[in-house]
Structure 1
Amino acid sequence: MIRVLSPINFDVSSSFSLPASEQRILDALVSSPKLYTYANKHQLRFEIALRDRIVRAAGELAKSRARFAIFRFSRCNSDFWTRDERGGFRLRPDVTASEAIQDIFVHSERYAFECATAIVIVFYKAVLDVIDPAAFNRLFADLLLYDWHTDRDLGIQTKKDEHFLPGDCLYFKNPEFDPLTPQWQGENAIYLGDGFFYGHGIGIQTKEGIIAALNRKRKRGATKSAYLLPDITQVDFAYLSQFARGFDEFRLPIRRSSFIFGTLGSAAFLHR
């Protein structure tokens, strides 16, 4: 269910609609048993757009030629990044963060990294797609891609929650992984919607597909299956919304037969 604290327009005509991929995000928010609260319609519109771009960026990385590699064997395009002794990628001082993130998707064959770094790359690419490039370069001027190391302005946060939406990152834990391949102790994955996830090194799979892939990486004699943790990792949608590129006037496109909507004071509610 959605709650918007400031007044918002509802559009029950057929003259206005979100793109299909964004409508799917709105439908997921409305249908969730959780209450999602927004200070204003701009924050809601931004989160819908950013979640959609996270899903798109994950799909692009899945189709790219970037490879899975442990930190020791990671690689990057030296025209944009300096690889440090840990296997992380630090932004070169003579290029912008936006150029460097774009290059991962343009010259993907020059890159190899593990799954946590892949998720962070997806988040940065999605944010770049929806905020002003100058703001992106200012916020992330000292970019370092290494494991879960992120700039504080990305606002990465992990919380306990079993209700996830497209654009959320989840973690599949493999409790009896083979100690010879510790990189398979788990898999970070972006939920794409419709029951599918993207995990770097495994690809686009269902929940069962990712669990099966991890189970093949267990130690000899293992009896405990991999499983999905009830944790969700997200960027700070509300904070990042202040740097958004301009959106058109936002009216919630709704179908009276599908949604229940109403107001309480200045707050608007929308649910199934």
Structure 2
Amino acid sequence: MIIVANMSTEQLNEQPFSQFEQEVVQKKEDSPVVYRYPSLEALKFELKLRANIVQAAKDLYASRVDFAVFSKSRSNEQFWTRTPEGGFRLNSGVRPSDGINDIYRNGRMYAFECATAMVILLYKAVLDTIGEDAFNTHFQNLLLYTWQYDDDLRLISVDNKNEAYLGDILYFMNPDYNPQTPEWQGENAVMLPNGLFYGHGIGIKTAEEMIASLNRRRIPGSDVSAYLSDEVVHPDFEHIRRLASSENAHSEREKQRQRRNAIVVRIGNSPYMQVFDG
């Protein structure tokens, strides 16, 4: 069930949601879990970010980035420095937005594990949602590695796959993975429309195809199947919305400050503005 402050169910149902947004809204409406939003803008922000997560996943797949274990990861050294653990730290002087966008533009220069892929596409989605100015302000000193090394997205984990929605990240567990290839003990995957998932290293597949792919990487002779676990991960949508709102408020205050400090004179028939700092 969805509850939006100061809005009735009838008013919510009258909103011109896209097909993607309507699918998320309808599933949440039908859920026994109560989803509360402080405003319609908060709900719309989440829907926009979810749509951008899905698009970022598809675009990362199309970028031709490679899969590699941490010990063999690689990146564009113009933007990133590889850490001893196999992660990527943003180079000094590089804008965070430029670093993330380069992965999508020059995918063949990059190789990383599936957990790193999830962190990257989440950053890309946030960038595309809140814009470069806010992203570069609030997401400095990026380290692309695993969930444990990321806290600025404030990732939220829920153990209930029945409450997974488009744009959420789920985990396919492979309990009998081959010890010689521990990277296939499971697969992080973004939930896409039409019953599909994106998992780095496997591609865009149905849940059944994801499981079949992991089963081919089990201990020889094993009959213990991989499966979709209950874990569901998504960023703290409201936290990110507040970051964007605070940046917009700051920009508006700066514009007002410049207007207060501006002197407008007329040269011929054209106005000319001179802005003084202070």
Give per-residue Cα distances to partners, 1:2-40, cap 9 Å, x unaligned.
111234782777xx7334333333333333343211122
Please state how far the C-alpha of 1:138 moved relative to its aligned partner.
1.9
Partner of 2:243: 243
Partner of 1:108: 107
Amino acid of the structure 2 residue aligned with 1:43: A
Partner of 1:10: 11
**TM-score normalized by the length of structure 2:** 0.82
CA distance, structure 1, for counterparts of residue 13 and residue 234 of structure 2: 31
Taking structure 1 as reference, are residues 12 and 94 closer, same or farther at Cα in structure 2, changes over 3 Å only? closer
Would the aligned equivalents of 1:25 and 1:51 in 2 still touch at CA under 8 Å?
no
Please state how far the C-alpha of 1:212 moved relative to its aligned partner.
0.3
Deviates more, 1:211-220 or 1:16-25: 16-25
CA distance, structure 1, for counterparts of residue 128 and residue 29 of structure 2: 24
Please state how far the C-alpha of 1:244 moved relative to its aligned partner.
3.5
Partner of 1:259: none
Give per-residue Cα distances to partners, 1:85-142, cap 9 Å, x unaligned.
1111000111111110011111111111010000111110000011132221122111
Please state how far the C-alpha of 1:156 moved relative to its aligned partner.
0.9
CA distance, structure 2, for counterparts of residue 39 and residue 46 of structure 1: 12
CA distance, structure 2, for counterparts of residue 102 and residue 158 of structure 1: 26
CA distance, structure 1, for counterparts of residue 12 and residue 238 of structure 2: 24
Partner of 1:220: 220
Would the aligned equivalents of 2:138 and 2:243 in 1 still touch at CA under 8 Å?
no
Would the aligned equivalents of 1:202 and 1:210 in 2 still touch at CA under 8 Å?
yes
Taking structure 1 as reference, are residues 12 and 65 closer, same or farther at Cα in structure 2, changes over 3 Å only? closer
Please state how far the C-alpha of 1:180 moved relative to its aligned partner.
0.5
Cα RMSD (Å): 1.9
Partner of 1:93: 92
Q: How many residues align?
A: 244
Deviates more, 1:210-219 or 1:186-195: 186-195
Would the aligned equivalents of 1:159 and 1:231 in 2 still touch at CA under 8 Å?
yes
Deviates more, 1:57-66 or 1:23-32: 23-32
CA distance, structure 2, for counterparts of residue 235 and residue 2 of structure 1: 19
CA distance, structure 2, for counterparts of residue 76 and residue 198 of structure 1: 21
**Greater helix share, structure number:** 2
Partner of 1:258: none
Partner of 1:44: 43
> For structure 2, which runs of at least 5 residues remain unmatched after alignment?
249-278
Specify the SS of the correspondent of 1:49. helix
Partner of 1:72: 71
Partner of 1:264: none
CA distance, structure 2, for counterparts of residue 194 and residue 102 of structure 1: 27
Amino acid of the structure 1 residue aligned with 2:95: T
